[in-house]
Amino acid sequence: MLYGIDTQVYFPPTMFSPGLENENKTKPDIVKKIDESDEGQSPEQAAQQFYKGFVRGDAHITGDLLNDLFRAGTRGVTPRVNFVMDVLYDLAQFRLAAQEREIERLKSVITLLNNSSKAVKADEGEEEDDVAPCSDGENEPPAESDSDRDSEDAASDEEELLEAYWDDDDSIYRKRNYVSGPEVSLPADNQALSEDRRMVPRGTTPLLDIDLSDLIPPPSYQDSRTMEYSQLRQRGATQLMCETFGLGFTEDEGIFAWANGYLFKQFSSDVMEEGDEWKIYLGRRIELDEEDVDGQGFIEGLLEDGVLFAPEGCRWATVKEGPNLWVTRPNSKIPRYEADSDDEEGDIVDEDEECDEEENGDSAETEPWPVVDAYKTDDETESEKGSDYSVSSAEETDNEESVDLCLYEVGISIDVKEEDTEWEGDWSSDESNAGTRSEQEFETEAQEAD
């Protein structure tokens, strides 16, 4: 019946997926049931060739293969030929079954698409019905019912109840059923505004549970600084951070670090010069990220939040306290950094509780240093033009040797008194009348002020 076929029949691999009946019949049994010792190798070779192609998924049945099988059958090998023919018939049945399953799947997909398109058309029809045609051909919305008017009135009344009002005590907007954020919203992870950045002692600082007997201080903390190193480790600093930034601790002012070369290069102000030292206060406790083993990321984040990108009212103060010494500390004008007498009764107690309240409790309000920001922006500098400390004339700006420009950034010395600054007002008023003073007059009045 198959004699004379000269076309190619291709069976794709998807026909023989696992789970089909008689699947094992198309496996190596084809080769096993052909006797290799028999005469007439043509049908055996043809069967082997077909099996290998079938395994690869590219089996083709050609007319020449069928002719060889038929000729082999005339030589007395009909049983083998019949077996191969049975296999081919089963493969054709598998192909038809796969095609029928694919047709059923496509039918179900088409039915699903038709149902979804009908649902969309039905929704569009309902929207069109909501607009009634007018006599002049235009469309107008249907008249509102009494229930619709009542619902709209109730919604408007609710909106009036939710209108925000300003709370002067907390400096936030409040509503009857909703409370908005503060007037100046800052991130919750802002390191500069954390309670741990307090410099004054408090009785609520949580200390790490570290066995002090196992601590081996580095060489720079041995002898007289052993207890200081223990305090740093209990407050969250690692040994690598202590050695990298030369951390120190005092009961009065908390933890401080010395900026290394990288921090000085990346974060220093324009008024800082090469060779200066930069002392940065870190507060009463340090919390480092797991990957921040040396504390570099913590200090960088603190400088970004407190110095570089902080609002003007919350910016930390950076002042010059010596010939080559710069100090960055929290701004004492921010209430959160002032001493809190209630902290003494906290549940978590550390050694700060033993500090004398009279000596340290009001340190935030009576600081001897001038709070002057060394990180002023261009806009802030322009807004201060016309003040007593601004250089107004071109002659003063050109004569850098006679006028110490850093004086206006740093402020007066620490021990200056109010009566010692009276010469500033006289100099400012005289300058407006007589112009810029000479170098000798300026040095003379500066010596008198000192």
Q: Which of 142-146, 213-217, 321-325, 344-348 has the lowest mean pLDDT?
A: 344-348
| Maximum average pLDDT range among 25-29, 42-46, 305-309, 400-404 | 305-309
Q: Are residues 356 and 397 in the same domain?
A: no
Cβ atoms within 10 Å, residue 22: 12
- Is residue 166 one of the residues assigned to a domain? no
Cα separation, 320 vs 327, whole angstroms = 6
Main-chain dihedrals φ then ψ at residue 167, nearest 5 degrees: -105, 110
pLDDT at 288: 92
pLDDT at 299: 93
- Is residue 1 one of the residues assigned to a domain? no
- Are 280 and 302 in contact by the 8 Å Cβ rule? The answer is yes
Over its C-alpha atoms, the chain yields an Rg (Å, rounded) of: 45
More confident call, 42 vs 320: 320
Q: Which of 149-163, 255-269, 280-294 has the lowest mean pLDDT?
A: 149-163
Please list, in sequence order, all residues whose beta carbon lies within 8 angstroms of the beta carbon of residue 144, skipping any fewer than 6 positions away.
none
More confident call, 45 vs 388: 45
- Is residue 235 one of the residues assigned to a domain? yes
Cα separation, 363 vs 350, whole angstroms = 19
pLDDT at 278: 94
Mean pLDDT, residues 257-273: 90
Question: Which of 40, 75, 103 is the last residue in one of the domains?
Answer: 103
- Is residue 108 one of the residues assigned to a domain? no
The total of structural domains in the chain comes to 3
pLDDT at 98: 85
Tokens standing for residue 258: 């010395």
Report the half-sphere exposure of 219 (CA within 13 A, side-chain side): 0
* Dihedral of alpha carbons 199, 205, 303, 278, sign: positive
Q: Are residues 35 and 18 in the same domain?
A: yes
Q: Are residues 360 and 411 in the same domain?
A: no
Q: Are residues 414 and 343 in the same domain?
A: no
More confident call, 242 vs 222: 242
Is the pLDDT assigned to residue 83 strictly greater than 90?
A: no
- Is residue 217 one of the residues assigned to a domain? yes
Q: Are residues 303 and 257 in the same domain?
A: yes
* Dihedral of alpha carbons 421, 424, 426, 427, sign: positive
Q: Are residues 199 and 341 in the same domain?
A: yes
pLDDT at 7: 35
**Predicted confidence (pLDDT) per residue in 135-154, tens digit:** 454 555 555 565 666 666 66
The answer to whether the pTM exceeds 0.75 is no
Intra-chain end-to-end CA distance of the chain, in Å: 125
Please list, in sequence order, all residues whose beta carbon lies within 8 angstroms of the beta carbon of residue 351, skipping any fewer than 6 positions away.
231, 251
Is the pLDDT assigned to residue 84 strictly greater than 60?
A: yes
Q: Are residues 390 and 445 in the same domain?
A: yes
Band of residue 309 on the pLDDT scale cut at 50, 70, 90 = confident
Domain limits at 447? 376-450
Cite the DSSP H helix spans in 246-402. 261-267, 296-303, 357-360, 378-383, 394-398
**Predicted confidence (pLDDT) per residue in 176-218, tens digit:** 554 444 444 445 567 777 788 888 887 778 888 888 888 889 9
- Is residue 162 one of the residues assigned to a domain? no
Q: Are residues 338 and 214 in the same domain?
A: yes
Angle at alpha carbon of residue 352, lines to 350 and 355, rounded to 5°: 140
Mean pLDDT, residues 279-302: 92
Q: Are residues 348 and 267 in the same domain?
A: yes
Question: Which of 344, 373, 402 is the last residue in one of the domains?
Answer: 373
Band of residue 254 on the pLDDT scale cut at 50, 70, 90 = very high
- Encoded amino acid at 351, one letter: E
More confident call, 251 vs 449: 251
- Are 288 and 337 in contact by the 8 Å Cβ rule? The answer is no
Cα separation, 334 vs 364, whole angstroms = 10
Q: Are residues 396 and 412 in the same domain?
A: yes
Q: Which of 172-181, 299-308, 385-394 has the lowest mean pLDDT?
A: 385-394
Cα separation, 286 vs 239, whole angstroms = 13
Main-chain dihedrals φ then ψ at residue 317, nearest 5 degrees: -95, 130
Cα separation, 305 vs 196, whole angstroms = 14
Cα separation, 176 vs 159, whole angstroms = 11
Main-chain dihedrals φ then ψ at residue 247, nearest 5 degrees: -60, 150
Q: Say if strands 248-250 and 165-167 run parallel, antiparallel, or are unpaired.
A: unpaired
SS3 of 110-161: the string is HHHHHHHHHHHHHHHHHHHHCCEECCCCCEECCCCCHHHHHHHHHHHHHHHH
Question: Which of 316, 343, 373 is the last residue in one of the domains?
Answer: 373
Cα separation, 98 vs 285, whole angstroms = 72
Angle at alpha carbon of residue 355, lines to 354 and 361, rounded to 5°: 130
Tokens standing for residue 426: 């006289």
Q: Which of 33-42, 219-228, 260-269, 406-415 has the lowest mean pLDDT?
A: 406-415
Q: Which of 193-202, 242-251, 380-389 has the lowest mean pLDDT?
A: 380-389
